[in-house]
Every structure is written in C-alpha cells, then in structure tokens.
Structure 1
C-alpha cells in the first residue's frame, strides 16, 4: 500500500508540473501577442500569470523535495523527481522571458509603430512548438520526441543571429528607428532563451527515461 501511495504522489507531482507548464506557455503566448499587436492589457495578464508561475514553482519544489526526503526513491523514480526539479526551474524562466517580452511591448507604446523586416511571429511559433513538444515528451515519457526538440534548437539560434545582424544594420542605416530595432533584438533574444529552456526540458526527459545525460555529449559535438 505505501508503494501505491508513492506512485500516486508521483502522478500528482507530474500534474502540478504540467499545470505550471500550461501557465508558462500561456504567458509567452500572451506576451508575444502584446508585443505584436500593442494590446497593453495583455501585459497586465502576463504579470498576473508570472506571479502564479512563481507560486507554482515553490509548490512543485516543496512537493518534490518532500518526496525525496520521505520516500528515498531509487532508479527511474529518483531520476523523475530530479528531472521535475530541473524542469520546474526552466518553466519558471520561460515565464521570466515572457515577462521581459511584455515589458518590451510596454516600452513600444510610447514610440511610433513601424514594420520591421523580420519575422518574429514565425520565430515565436517555432519556439512554441519546441516548448509544447518538450512538455509532450514529458507527458508521454517519449525520449524520441525529446530528441526532436534538441534538433530544433539550431534553427532558433540561426533565426536569432539573423535578427541581430539585420537590426544592427538597420540601426546604422536608419538611426531614427533604433529604439524599435533594439526592442526587436531583445525580444528575439528572449525567444532564443525560451528555446534553450525547452532544450533543457527535453534533455531532462531523456535523462529520466533513459538514464543518460546528453548535455555533455551535445557540447562535445558542437565543439567539433
């Protein structure tokens, strides 16, 4: 009976993490919409969600640490709890990046709106796919899906570099729109960091399911 109860607690822990993941995804989606449409009311909503994310992070951590202390899990259950703790932190940081994007939207409210030669919506959609896929891999314990998330990260890095280069060139050519271009650079960087957090989540899912740490292998491959 105690073991059955422990498995139920693990399910409850996963449910808490998935609920937090939904909040993080919602915050990012609303922040991007605020940036792209100028709807500042959404920024306040993002702020409220961020507060809920911060509270959820504490709740998940406390639940996970309590399980570690009381149950002393072994093997795959131990890896799952450790992965949850790390994923929890990445989800909170996605919320932070969403908040940063919302701040960019607020900063743009006081200056003229212009159309920039970059595709932030496409980049945002690709990052959203990464996050959703990473969470789906967690839900289904699917290491192969998690590997697909890892493969997506390079494209986001490339898109971010393109935005950086294009906006720097634009600021040099048209200094009058430097503030708008700089905000675009910052939003692109926020999205790139969200992609990094999605990658971290996928790596932790692989660690949980397979017991292998792919982080250093990736670093060595990139160095080559």
Structure 2
C-alpha cells in the first residue's frame, strides 16, 4: 500500500473518531443543561433521564478509545498524527468526567426536591452551568476548526466560572448562618456548585489540549485558580 493510501485511510479513520467526539460532546452539553434545568424546576423525571443517559456517554467513550487504539495499531501514526490520536483519547476522557459531574448534579435533584428551597440558588447554579456548557461548545468548535485563539479564549473564561462559584459559596455560607434549616440543602447545593466549577476546569483542560495540538506547545501561563472556599471556611471558624 502506498503512503498516499495509508494517509487517506488514516484521515478517514480519524474523521470517524472525531465525529464520535462531537456526538459525545453534544450528549454532554445536553446532560449539563438538563441537569441544571431539573435542579431549578425540581423535575425528578428529567434528572432520572440525565442519570440514565450517562451510560450512553460512557459507552461512547469506550468506543472512541477502542477506535483510537485500533488506529494506532493499524496505521502506526507518527509525530503530528500520533498527537491527533492521543488528543482524541484525552478529550473523550474529559468529556466522560464532565458527564459524571452532570449525573451527580441530577442525583442530588431528587434529594433537594424533598428539602426547603433556598431562594434564588437554583437559578444561579443554572446560569453557571449554562456558562460551562457554552464554553464546552466553543472548545469543541476550536478542536474541529483547529482554532487555538478560540481555545485560549475558553481558557480565559474559566475565571468567570470561578467567580460564580465563589459568589455562590459565600451566599450558601450566609444562608446557613442565618437559618440552620438551610444547612442541609445548602450543603447539597454547594457540592453541585463545586462540581460545576470542576466541569469548567475540565473544559479548560480540553482547551489546553487544543492549543498544544495546534501549536505544538502548551499555553504559556498556568491558570490562576481563584477558589476562595477553603480560606473562607477557615475564616468562618475563627
């Protein structure tokens, strides 16, 4: 087989895998939005749908990994081609983890539906989840388009998610101090907020992978995280 035939076969196989990545990304985006919506509306049926759908996300990740391993074994890619295949594996792993966080959000919806509602918190969490979902959409676009600038823009926007998390954390602390009956629901809501913040981190990891894929170099500066929860917890105990 000529090198040209090998190259065209590799391209076809890689395009098929990338199509699966985009399919998986769309499923994860829907899981984020539906989990947040189920939380805000206390829709336990929608939450159950998110939890059930996570199995399909996991299955697709397995298919992508198997296809990528097969591609490496059959085509023996080198240099940039190998980097492309490895990026697929890393991105699918990040997407699977984001799906897990969306599932965890949905799990807590059924619990929170039985507890007193904390005014405004669910809608704030939905806005935060929406921001993460838009970042995920943009980073997947940057991957397909090989757009390092768009990926860098996503990395910068992670600071907005951190700020949303910090604001929610302080809000939950205030609610808990004002009324002890808020402690249990606020603890659940805090876990959801933290998981959403971690979704943002995983989206940013994908963006960093895109930058490396396109430029051959990691982003110049490490992200500065602004999670104030540990320091605020310490202060509240003084």
TM bucket normalised to smaller: over 0.9
State the SS of the aligned residue for 2:221: helix
- Matched residue count: 220
Contact 2:118–2:186 (Cα < 8 Å) also in 1: no
TM-superposed CA distance for 1:222, in Å, is 3.6
Q: Give the distance between the partners of 2:136 and 2:224, measured in 1 at CA.
A: 22
1:2 to 3, 6, 17: 6
Structure 2 partner of 1:218: 221
Question: Counterpart of 1:204?
Answer: 209
**How far is 1:2 from its partner?**
2.5
- Is the 1:13–1:63 Cα contact (8 Å) retained in structure 2? yes
Structure 1 vs Structure 2 CA RMSD: 1.6
Q: Within the alignment, does 1:71 sit opposite 2:75 as a pair? A: yes
Matches within 5 A, 1:72-221: 72-116=76-120, 119-214=124-219, 217-219=220-222
Deviates more, 1:42-51 or 1:113-122: 113-122
1:12-27 superposed matches below 5 A: 12-27=16-31
Q: For structure 2, which runs of at least 5 residues remain unmatched after alignment?
A: 226-238
Quote the offset at 1:148 in angstroms: 0.3
1:67-116 C-alpha deviation (Å, 9 max, x unpaired): 11221212221111111110010000010000111011111121232414
Query: How many angstroms does 1:190 deviate by?
Result: 1.3
1:52 corresponds to 2:59: no
Any conservation in 2 of the 1:76–1:209 contact (CA below 8 Å)? no
**CA distance, structure 1, for counterparts of residue 25 and residue 224 of structure 2:** 29
Task: State how far apart, in whole Å, the 1-side matches of 2:109 and 2:224 are.
Answer: 34
Uncovered stretches (5+) of structure 1, i.e. residues with no partner: none
Which stretch of structure 1 is more off in the superposition, 116-125 or 128-137? Answer: 116-125
